[in-house]
Amino acid sequence: MGFTTDLQGTSGPGETNGRVVVIGAGLAGSEAAWQAAQAGTWVELWEMRPQVMTPAHQTGDCAELVCSNSLHSNRLESASGLLKEELRRLDSVILAAADAHAVPAGQALAVERRVFAQDVTARLQAHPRIRMVRRERQALWPLDAVTVVATGPLTSPALAKDIAAFVGTDFLYFYDAAAPIVTAESIDYSRAFWGSRYQRGQADYLNCPLSEEEYRVFWQALVEAEQAPLEAADAEMHYFEGCLPVEVMARRGPETLAYGPLKPVGLRDPRTGKRPYAVVQLRREDREGRLFNLVGFQTRLKWGEQERVFRMIPALANAEFVRFGVMHRNTFLNAPQVLLPTYQSRREPRLFFAGQMTGVEGYIESCASGLIAGRNAARLAQGLEPLAFPRETMLGAMARFITEADPGNFQPMNATLALLPPLEPAVRDKRRRHQLLAERALQALERFIRGL
């Protein structure tokens, strides 16, 4: 049906199969629109560019990649590679265009960005059941159809205000100030101990002690480490005092951290019976305790620098980082409070959210959430029950993570194999484990597809 700029003829031939509105034609919205249309519904896809631009996008194309042209690993035994394979098996328009316009990038899938985005745009415009509306959607209401909101980390202010009013201002964030996350299996437990300050409550924190000498070396490295440059979109960001990057706090003086997030008060190392000089506390990131975040370590250091400096904490000498700390502009929901694993709003089942704003992080992760939201929006519009994907798949594991994470400490997350349920019995060899997790995921997906 193609490209239009007005709203005439919104009830189209697919009306009998239901109608779905998708707001935002980025990575998530493009996929959601495609999936809903392929499922037989009539889709109205809203995109405000090129009329209204975001601080990061350069064109009016759908699915524009705002920064890197890499969609990360294509290896099946990696989380990102597995996710891509799942998407391919589910007729993803983003993956089809990416594979068609890949450029040599070793084991990663990287694309010729302009041609890739133009191809996605052309495929959407050529779809007989998709109609594009090139306008900013300024309000959520009235909700006259099942709707998928996929307006991304740079959602326009008017709509963001409306979303905040709907979900509650406590559940919509505008900046991502996240601390790094490490896998539980990579922590050296012989150099850490469980406990909470003054033994109050349960021993929920894993404490990583530092001697005075270790602390001094760590502090020096931290203040000298290189920060990532500010993106244009982030230039307006001002730090809140309660949320300063750890390296900025460290630069205030050699003891600031020891009296701040690394203060050892109320903690005794059971191996020495003494209070350590400083303590880095780790807190569970997921219910099962497979991932831990470094409490108070929101940071803007370059990722390589984070790995180098944070591994100076003795218990983290071999830490595997599944997510690095970031601080940038990012509009996202407190998904554990707001969403179901079907990507539906808990309060209004006809409203779906998809993409980075649901707390998934990255191009492919955003596309994946768009795929689930689009398929489920179509199901709902056709009078069918929306479905949660199996948790053994990367698609399902991500949806479960964002909706089951600790809401008090929720931060966006990339796909990682650590989100998948562990194998039983456990497999020690990492390579073999990753292979088996990928095989199990694809089998679960095939069963799920057959059951549809």
Ligand X SMILES: Cc1cc2nc3c(=O)[nH]c(=O)nc-3n(C[C@H](O)[C@H](O)[C@H](O)COP(=O)(O)OP(=O)(O)OC[C@H]3O[C@@H](n4cnc5c(N)ncnc54)[C@H](O)[C@@H]3O)c2cc1C
Query: Which residues here bind ligand X, judged by CB under 6 A?
Result: 23-29, 46-49, 54, 56-57, 66-68, 136-137, 150-156, 159, 231, 233, 355-357, 362-363, 366
Nearest residue (CB) to ligand X, 93 versus 159: 159
**Min CB(443)–ligand X separation in Å:** 27
CB atoms closer than 10 angstroms to residue 114: 15
Nearest residue (CB) to ligand X, 56 versus 96: 56
Nearest residue (CB) to ligand X, 14 versus 24: 24
**Min CB(163)–ligand X separation in Å:** 10
Residue 390 CB partners (closer than 8 Å, separation 6+) = 396, 444, 445, 447, 448
Diameter of the chain measured on Cα atoms: 75
**Min CB(382)–ligand X separation in Å:** 24
Q: Is 22 left (phi over 0), alpha (psi -120 to 50) or beta?
A: beta
CA 200 to chain centre: 33
Nearest residue (CB) to ligand X, 153 versus 276: 153
Q: Which of 420, 317, 377 is nearest to 29 (CA)?
A: 377
**Min CB(357)–ligand X separation in Å:** 6
Half-sphere exposure of 40 (CA within 13 A, CB side): 9
**Min CB(232)–ligand X separation in Å:** 7
Report which residue's Cβ sits closest to ligand X.
26
d(CA 332, CA 245): 20
Nearest residue (CB) to ligand X, 365 versus 392: 365
Nearest residue (CB) to ligand X, 325 versus 362: 362
Residue 122 CB partners (closer than 8 Å, separation 6+) = none
The pairing of strands 291-294 and 278-284 is: antiparallel
**Min CB(212)–ligand X separation in Å:** 40
- 149, containing H or E segment: strand 146-149
Q: Which of 292, 288, 322 is nearest to 391 (CA)?
A: 288
**Min CB(353)–ligand X separation in Å:** 9
Nearest residue (CB) to ligand X, 35 versus 281: 35
Nearest residue (CB) to ligand X, 154 versus 438: 154
**Alpha-helical segments (H) within 127-176:** 157-167
Q: Are 222 and 312 in contact (CB under 8 A)?
A: no
**Alpha-helical segments (H) within 259-407:** 303-310, 335-338, 363-381, 394-404
Nearest residue (CB) to ligand X, 305 versus 365: 365
**Min CB(320)–ligand X separation in Å:** 20
**Min CB(388)–ligand X separation in Å:** 20
The beta strand positions in 252-370, using DSSP E, are: 278-284, 291-294, 321-323, 326-333, 351-353
The beta strand positions in 167-318, using DSSP E, are: 172-178, 181-183, 193-194, 206-210, 278-284, 291-294
